[in-house]
Amino acid sequence: MNNSKMSKLTLGIILFLVALGCNQNPKERSDAEGSDIESKIRQVHADYVEGWKNMDESKVMDLLEEDAQIQPNRFNPVIGKENIRAFWFPRDSSKTIINKFTTEIISLTVLDTIAVTTHSSILDWDYKKDSTNFGMYQKGFNTTIYRKQIDESWKIWRSMWTDLYVKNR
């Protein structure tokens, strides 16, 4: 075999091996690992809902990354944990009461160190401050993005929701 044919054959083998290597996902997880991650995400979600039901500010806020961002329906994004705290838990003597908060996860996808959930929700709440009192009943959908932390825990990085039905009470 001459040098030209040998070089082409060698190059072909190298390209084949490179292409074969590109098709393999080095981050593939076993079913058990995937199930464990999904369990952790579902637990963060459950803790978030439980935190709201009990109006547990620390529990809710501890589930957020420092640079978390929320996108409430019909509002501008709220960026950063302290701004989210001020939005959700203002220090103005107001009181929010969660009467009902139920969710159902519709989809959960894990992509390495990111997880995405979509869930439906029903939220019934009251607001009271001085002589202002009102209630809301909301049904909607939420998309939440979680990121894996250095300590292997998962926290909420982004969350947005859309109300399909709102009733003032």
Tens digits of residue pLDDT in 28-64: 455 666 689 999 999 999 999 999 999 999 999 999 9
β-strand partners of 166 = 138
Q: What's phi and psi for 60, nearest 5 deg?
A: -65, -50
User: What integer pLDDT is reported at residue 23 of this predicted model?
Assistant: 47
| CA distances to 39, 51, 58, 87, 163 from 75, in Å | 31, 23, 24, 11, 12
Whose tokens are 């989210």? That residue is 84
32 vs 151 pLDDT, higher one: 151
Nearest to 117 by CA among 153, 139, 144: 144
Q: How does pLDDT run across 100-150, given as a tens digit for each residue?
A: 999 999 999 999 999 999 999 999 999 999 999 999 999 999 999 999 999
Write the single-letter amino acid at 68: A
Domain 31-168 - what CATH class?
alpha beta
Distance, in Å, from the CA atom of 166 to the CA atom of 136, rounded to the nearest integer, reads: 7
Q: Spell out the domain ranges in the chain.
A: 31-168
Mean pLDDT of 73-90: 96
Stated pTM of the model = 0.80
